[in-house]
Amino acid sequence: MNILRIDSTIKPREASVSAGLADRVLARLTAADPKAVVTTRDVIGVPAIDGNWLGAVFTPADQRNADQVAIAAYADELLNEVRAADTLVIALPVYNFAIPAQLKNWLDQLARKGETFRYTEAGPEGLLKGKRAIVALSSDGTQLGSDIDFASGYLRHMLGFFGITDVEFVAADRMAFGADETLARAHEAVDQLAA
């Protein structure tokens, strides 16, 4: 099994609840499959897409200038990591009710017509099918699935848009209202995951 771990916390890793939950998820998965290969991508520093990115990834490879070659190569590297993965483990801290900007940058880098999705007469079709995603969500005050949770629904939608529809959440949400109890429930949810 190939596992791609995505980190998006702005905190030091040892202080991050989402990173700690992702550690626990990975421990469960690798205990079940000791031969699993884990690739880690910290999306802090992944650049936002812009006009130069658009020009690079949609210019045929043999017509790209040197700057476009570099931009497209980076985007391809991110995409190839996802393509190679059987399972994605995404550490998701909720910031201001939504996903971190850097995680959105990563998703935007992946959103490429003809690579991760295509349009059909029946609507969009994701091209990264057959993968599983486990999302380790943490928040101080936002409850998973509540009216103010704009993080989990968006991430689930984007993964589904890419064809990744097997998405599970383990949540240490509303940490400000009882961190120990919340974390214990999250750990129990990880321990119940099918490995």
C-alpha pair distances (Å), 16 with each of 54, 137, 141, 191: 33, 11, 15, 19
Q: Which of 166, 148, 170, 147 is nearest to 156 (CA)?
A: 166
Residue corresponding to tokens 């990834």: 57
**CA–CA dist 24, 191 (Å, integer):** 8
- 139 annotated binding-site participant: no
Do 169 and 116 contact (CB within 8 A), yes or no? no
- 146 annotated binding-site participant: no
Q: Which of 52, 116, 54 is nearest to 79 (CA)?
A: 116
Residue 5: phi and psi, rounded to 5, are -100, 130
- 16 annotated binding-site participant: yes
Binding-site residues for FMN sit at 16-18
Binding-site residues sit at 16-18
